[in-house]
Amino acid sequence: MANLQPSLSIPPSFAGASPPSPSPIGGGGGVGGGVGQPAKDRKMASAEQLVLDLCDPELRENALLELSKKREIFQDLAPLLWHSFGTVAALLQEIVSIYPALSPPTLSPGASNRVCNALALLQCVASHPETRILFLNAHIPLYLYPFLNTTSKTRPFEYLRLTSLGVIGALVKVDDTEVISFLLQTEIIPLCLRTMEMGSELSKTVATFIVQKILLDDVGLRYICATAERFFAVGSVLANMVVSLAEQPSTRLLKHIIRCYLRLSDNSRACAALQTCLPDMLKDGTFNNCLRDDPTTRRWLQQLLLNVTGGGMGAAPQPGLDHMMGI
């Protein structure tokens, strides 16, 4: 599994940190680091050769590994991948080839590593402004859904879920109603809820981030609040996660959960329902220590409590709620 880590490139907003700077090639740096046009040309030629290698079954595994490790230093890799003949088909072939190993769960670490490298390249395509909508119109996210529907907690399956979520996360990271509308026409909400229930802390965080981004879009909020069934499906999973976090705190996961609740409270019907189903642990100071160094999330929780207790949506947090936050 030594090669898995480079393929798990989660958008920085998931983890609340800036992405690491790519390692320079040949000892050079960025624009001011001494890398001239010849070096850039060599890098591009290298990327083009590796993309060509993807279509050769004997060379594909190494090309997947090298491209996934170096994708941040290859400029415009996404358009190159998308517009090169047979390349996307080769990546999809890698994905569908492991479907038989999903049920019963027989996925090996090596096979998981290889398909995660392919998924990392698809995340690159999903992230690029020139290829994002093309990627969506081709319905390629649907090929990832079987991976999100798995329940095995072994490392090969967890890496597979996490990297698949990274592709979806790359789509929703840029606010785009067209992306949200597409995802809502599929099974992405139930699949994210499944991961939020049984995934690792990191995969739960990414899945909750995706639900948060869907909720932050007006179309997404209306969709989830349109029926009691949808609202309570989301609300019950969020509530169970709050209970779990009381035993094993995670500030970054709690942040996304609170933001989801706050956005739900923007809907009048959902806000009324939250008066009875908002977890007591969000009201009684259970997470005071967890949030002490996170003023943004603390303000979100204050506003959530204000909305739910009838203070009015959009109103400024009142000092009277400070005791609930231990401020």
Q: What is d(CA 258, CA 255) in angstroms, rounded to the nearest whole number?
A: 5
Q: Which residue has the tokens 């160094």?
A: 293
CA 233, 235, 240 angle in degrees (round to 5)? Answer: 100
Closest CA to 115 of 94, 101, 140: 94
**For residues 227-262, b (16+ Cβ closer than 10 Å) or e, as one string?**
eeeebeebbebbbebbeebeeeebbbbbbbbbbbbb
Residue 17 has a pLDDT of: 31
State if pTM tops 0.85.
no
Q: State the fold for domain 47-174.
A: Leucine-rich Repeat Variant (1.25.10)
Omega before residue 6 within 30° of 0, cis = no
Counting other chains too, the contacts that 312-316 makes at CB distance below 8 Å and 24 or more residues apart are 313/265, 313/266, 313/268, 313/271
Residue 42 has a pLDDT of: 67
Q: What is d(CA 56, CA 128) in angstroms, rounded to the nearest whole number?
A: 25
**For residues 9-36, b (16+ Cβ closer than 10 Å) or e, as one string?**
bbbeebeeeeeeeeeeeeeeeeeeeebe
Q: What is d(CA 204, CA 40) in angstroms, rounded to the nearest whole number?
A: 38
The DSSP element (H or E) to which 288 belongs, if any, is: helix 288-291
3-state secondary structure of 131: coil
Residue 163 has a pLDDT of: 97
Q: What is d(CA 323, CA 23) in angstroms, rounded to the nearest whole number?
A: 48
Residue stretches of the chain with pLDDT short of 50: 1-35, 313-327
The ranges of the chain annotated as CATH 1.25.10.10 are 47-174, 190-311
Residue 31 has a pLDDT of: 33
**DSSP secondary structure letter of residue 92:** H
Measured from the Cβ of residue 311, the count of other Cβ atoms closer than 10 Å reads 17
Q: What is d(CA 150, CA 164) in angstroms, rounded to the nearest whole number?
A: 12
Domain 190-311 classification at class level: mainly alpha
DSSP for 172-206, please give it.
HHS--HHHHHHHHTTTHHHHHHHHHHHS-HHHHHH
